[in-house]
Amino acid sequence: MKSHYRVVVIGGGVVGTSVLYHLAKMGWTDVALLERKVLTAGSSWHAAGGFHALNADPNIAQLQAYTIDLLSEIEKESGQSVGMHMTGGLTLAGTPDRWDWLQSAYRTFQAIGIDDVRLVTPEEAGALCPIMSTEGILGGMWADREGYVDTTGTVHAYAGAAKKRGAEVHEGVKVEALRRVAEGWDVVTKDHGTIRAEHVVNAAGLWAKQVGRMAGIELPVSPLNHHYLISDTIPELEEIDFEVPMTVDLEGFTYMRQDQKGILLGIYEIDHQHWMEDGAPWDYGFELQQEDPDRIEKELILGFERYPALQEVGVKTWVNGAFTFAPDGNPLVGPIQGLPGYWCACGVMAGFLQGGGVGKSLAEWIVEGEPEADVFGMDVARFGRFAENKRFIRETTGQFYTRRFVMTYPNEQLPAGRPLKMAPAHDAMTAAGARWGVSYGLEVPLYFAPSPEFEEKPTLKRSNAFDIVAEECRATREAAGLLDISAFSRFEVTGPNAGAWLDRIMASKLPAPGRARLAPMLSPQGKLKGDLTVFCWPGEPERFWITGSYYLRAWHMRWFHDQMQDGVHVADISDEMVGFSVQGPNAKEIVQRVLERDLDLPFMGCAEMDVGLTRAHVGRLSVSGERGYEISVPAMEHVALRRTLLEAGQGLGLREIGFQALLSLRLEKSFGIWSAEFTQGYTPAETGMDRWIDWTKAFVGKGAAEGVNPSRRIVTMEIDADGADASGFEPIWRDGEKVGFVTSGGFGHTIGKSLAMGMVQADHSDIGTALQTHIVGQAREAIVIPPSPYDPEGRAMRGA
């Protein structure tokens, strides 16, 4: 073992070895993996080893597909068998809503290019898995490339392939401390001295919490126990000449695969159990917890009913071992702001399914500066300091585990870790009927219910809140809507070089004093890094605000930090400055009533002014397409601002609205949003954001983005919908050929039509092109329409 390496990977499980392999594959051979005991000692050795196609995040599903393809490659490259059993897989639905959901998932797979899936009847499912009872099953989804691997063999295959490419693997090397130095990190080991590394990767699995603390960070992860059993030989399996498929019974909370001539039955129990929330003991490795069949009795009964043969044979082996979970069940991957060279690759509870994609993405990030795919769904920056709280971690990880096979509806609001952050006027808005969602720990109003008794019913289709949202849209278009905009991020940029710095990282022109401007931000590879708004406050030419999406706060702050230069200070003031927006044809009159001056702001103008008793930052812009004013004040003045505006709006039709109405209104204007029309996986030319770019200046990403002729484009479509609207990642077809996918959708309450935006091949993007899509699994006609079906000339928004 050397004293210096370019990268040291800490942790010898499936994720750590995958990261090592991908670094070496990309040409970084001066890399080493340190494992405190032996490879697989932790969670990897006792994992069930299953792999399947399904994931709620389509981007992560694509990385899972990559992992599945990779397994056979590392087997060949390493010469180590991974014990691949490509049995195919079944996912079962036992309720009408679940069947609708499974049909939607099938179409999502088609949208993202996973074509080896199909829907099956209960009879077909029974023939594919003859030891299964089909009682209560309405249908299923079959995937060709599902099955399981030998977990130990797979880890050794990753490690062996990495070593063949020049990487090093060192077992029996326990890391005890990490120290930042000018060249990177000193990795202090127990018996092998100190190793200098430019980069350190925390792939420590059950010990990720401790390895995080070595660098001064508190990662939002916690281990939970997970049961599976392996049965004795089942006679029926001896009589068939194929392996039964990997089978997931969503209503039964179980997954099943064959194990020799018995079966392995795994359970995601409702009554979950955390284990060693601060991380596993250092001497833990190949131990298990005592099985607890009483705690999982209900799920066991369902499993034994689904597979009746289990009632006739014994249990050969019980496994009750821990896996590490993040609050939403997805991995924690990427760099940590302020800790250059420290990388996370942990919280990967489905390591044999996701480990390949995690390793690939992190290696690209380290070597090339950013991953090829949009990996925000597993970026460690999707959580903030609020997620470090132990109770928050316990509640959210437990909720995810318990709901692993429980259906969650798009309009369903889950309770764990809530309410946590609330705008000051939260209680007053609640009294006014607000129903709440959550963004980055902050409660955000979805809509205002007409009575305390109203309860929205979870559904895949239009909900019973549909008419409430329609009324909020109508009020905004005809009079005025008042929206809490505390869930906008706000960054203040100051210093003698503030303007020059912003001019370099923003691709747009900078606004003049007293003006605001929409500002795309790009990565060096020419992909989007933000759809932001920059304000230049009058009288202070070197004081700017950047506003954007609240849930991207840590993600954007990390980027600003990475691009920092002398003479610039960036402060996240998102929780210090909050506010409301007033939008609609009566917005000007309402705001004018509480001013001591004429409201003479031009469109995209901004100024500081007294609004009632508050000193406010006011910008004239809106996402609804109506005349609008975004008014930001110190948090302690939020309640007063709301009261002032509501009083001013009396007699002018002002109504409080939520973000569901805003999403409908913005679709009618073809205004894209982040994580839908705009992501870090797209270029500005694909999304239309290039129209805001100033190509005459130098900016980050210019060379990669300039002159690109996109092969696909964002379009607006009218959908022939019936009781359900598109939401995202539905496939788009033209004459049976897949030509794109929906990025977002909903109902346009003003124009009375179902709308969607989508990314389609450029030669199918012309106005009037007839297309088709699937909504909740059902085929629907679509047509490309001109952008901004409401007020296409923008007169309402820009009017004097």
Q: Quick: pLDDT tens for 97-108.
A: 999 999 999 999
Contact 775, 721 (CB under 8 A): yes
Q: In this structure, are strands 89-93 and 246-249 parallel, antiparallel, or unpaired? A: parallel
* pLDDT at position 60 over 90: no
Closest CA to 8 of 132, 169, 156: 169
Six token digits for residue 31: 């890399």
756 phi/psi in degrees, rounded to 5 = -150, 150
Residue that has been written with the tokens 């605001």 in this structure: 516
Contact 677, 618 (CB under 8 A): no
Query: DSSP state, 311?
Result: G
Say if residue 264 is exposed, middle or buried (CB neighbours under 10 Å; 0-12, 13-18, 19+): buried
Dihedral angle over CA of 731, 732, 735, 736, nearest 10: -10
Q: In this structure, are strands 194-202 and 184-189 parallel, antiparallel, or unpaired? A: antiparallel
pLDDT at 799: 86
Give the percent of the chain with pLDDT over 90: 96
* pLDDT at position 624 over 90: yes
pLDDT at 404: 93
Contact 584, 627 (CB under 8 A): yes
* pLDDT at position 800 over 80: no
Which of the two residues, 270 and 60, has the higher pLDDT score? Answer: 270
414 phi/psi in degrees, rounded to 5 = -95, 150
User: CA gyration radius for the chain?
Assistant: 27
pLDDT at 540: 82
Six token digits for residue 263: 């079966």
* pLDDT at position 298 over 90: yes
Closest CA to 352 of 153, 179, 540, 521: 153
* pLDDT at position 320 over 90: yes
Q: In this structure, are strands 480-484 and 577-583 parallel, antiparallel, or unpaired? A: antiparallel
* pLDDT at position 205 over 90: yes
Six token digits for residue 197: 């590394």
Dihedral angle over CA of 761, 767, 768, 771, nearest 10: 20
Collapsing DSSP to helix, strand or coil, 678 comes out as strand
Say if residue 485 is exposed, middle or buried (CB neighbours under 10 Å; 0-12, 13-18, 19+): buried
CA distances from 600 to 513, 582, 799 (A): 15, 16, 12
Please state the rounded mean pLDDT for residues 387-395.
Answer: 98
The helix-helix angle for 151-164 and 351-368 (nearest 10°) equals: 20
Confidence tier at 413 by pLDDT (50, 70, 90)? very high
pLDDT at 61: 83
Say if residue 595 is exposed, middle or buried (CB neighbours under 10 Å; 0-12, 13-18, 19+): middle
Distance CA 106, CA 115 (A): 9
> In 262-327, at which residue ranges do the beta strands (DSSP E only) sit?
262-267, 315-325
Please state the rounded mean pLDDT for residues 351-380.
Answer: 96
Contact 426, 487 (CB under 8 A): no
pLDDT tens, residue by residue, 162-191: 999 999 999 999 999 999 999 999 999 999
Residue that has been written with the tokens 């990642």 in this structure: 729
At 335, which helix (H) or strand (E)? strand 332-335
Distance CA 497, CA 520 (A): 20
Six token digits for residue 30: 């001066």
Distance CA 149, CA 147 (A): 7
Distance CA 331, CA 417 (A): 19
* pLDDT at position 55 over 80: no
At 578, which helix (H) or strand (E)? strand 577-583
Six token digits for residue 515: 């003006």
Which residues fall within 8 angstroms of residue 225, CB to CB, at 6 or more apart? 272, 273, 274, 275, 289, 320, 321, 322
Residue 387's Cβ-side half-sphere holds a number of Cα atoms within 13 Å equal to 22
Residue that has been written with the tokens 């007169």 in this structure: 795
Confidence tier at 542 by pLDDT (50, 70, 90)? confident
Distance CA 633, CA 581 (A): 11
> What is the pTM (predicted TM-score) of this model?
0.96
Buried b (16+ CB within 10 A) or exposed e, 711-743: ebbbbbbbbebeebbbbbbbbbbbeeeebbbbb
pLDDT at 104: 94
Average predicted confidence (pLDDT) for the chain: 96
CA distances from 727 to 72, 473, 551, 719 (A): 35, 19, 19, 12
pLDDT tens, residue by residue, 659-671: 999 999 999 999 9
pLDDT tens, residue by residue, 669-721: 999 999 999 999 999 999 999 999 999 999 999 999 999 999 999 999 999 99
At 211, which helix (H) or strand (E)? helix 208-214
Please state the rounded mean pLDDT for residues 376-387.
Answer: 96
Give the percent of the chain with pLDDT over 70: 100
Query: DSSP state, 343?
Result: E
Which residues fall within 8 angstroms of residue 399, CB to CB, at 6 or more apart? 414, 415, 416, 417
At 438, which helix (H) or strand (E)? strand 434-439
The helix-helix angle for 466-478 and 659-667 (nearest 10°) equals: 70
H helix runs in 506-586, sequence order:
553-562
Can you count the helices (H) and strands (E) in the chain?
20, 37
Confidence tier at 113 by pLDDT (50, 70, 90)? confident
pLDDT at 604: 98
Q: In this structure, are strands 753-761 and 737-748 parallel, antiparallel, or unpaired? A: antiparallel
State the sign of the Cα–Cα–Cα–Cα dihedral 269, 273, 274, 275.
negative
If one counts every other C-beta atom within 10 angstroms of the C-beta of residue 173, the result is: 22
CA distances from 49 to 82, 125, 147, 357, 792 (A): 10, 22, 8, 16, 53
pLDDT at 316: 96
Amino acid at 296: I
Residue that has been written with the tokens 């699995």 in this structure: 205
pLDDT at 232: 98
pLDDT at 57: 78
Q: In this structure, are strands 543-549 and 488-494 parallel, antiparallel, or unpaired? A: antiparallel
pLDDT at 566: 97
Beta bridge partners, 195, equal 187
pLDDT at 266: 97
Amino acid at 67: T
Distance CA 59, CA 56 (A): 9
Six token digits for residue 377: 């769904």
What domains lie within the chain, and their CATH numbers?
A: 4-333+341-365 (3.50.50.60), 488-664 (3.30.1360.120), 711-796 (2.40.30.110)
pLDDT at 52: 84
Beta bridge partners, 744, equal 757
- Give Cα 588 to chain centroid, integer Å: 37
Distance CA 311, CA 328 (A): 35
Amino acid at 637: E
- How would you list the strands of the sheet with 480-484, edge to edge? 606-611, 614-619, 628-634, 577-583, 480-484, 654-656
pLDDT at 744: 98
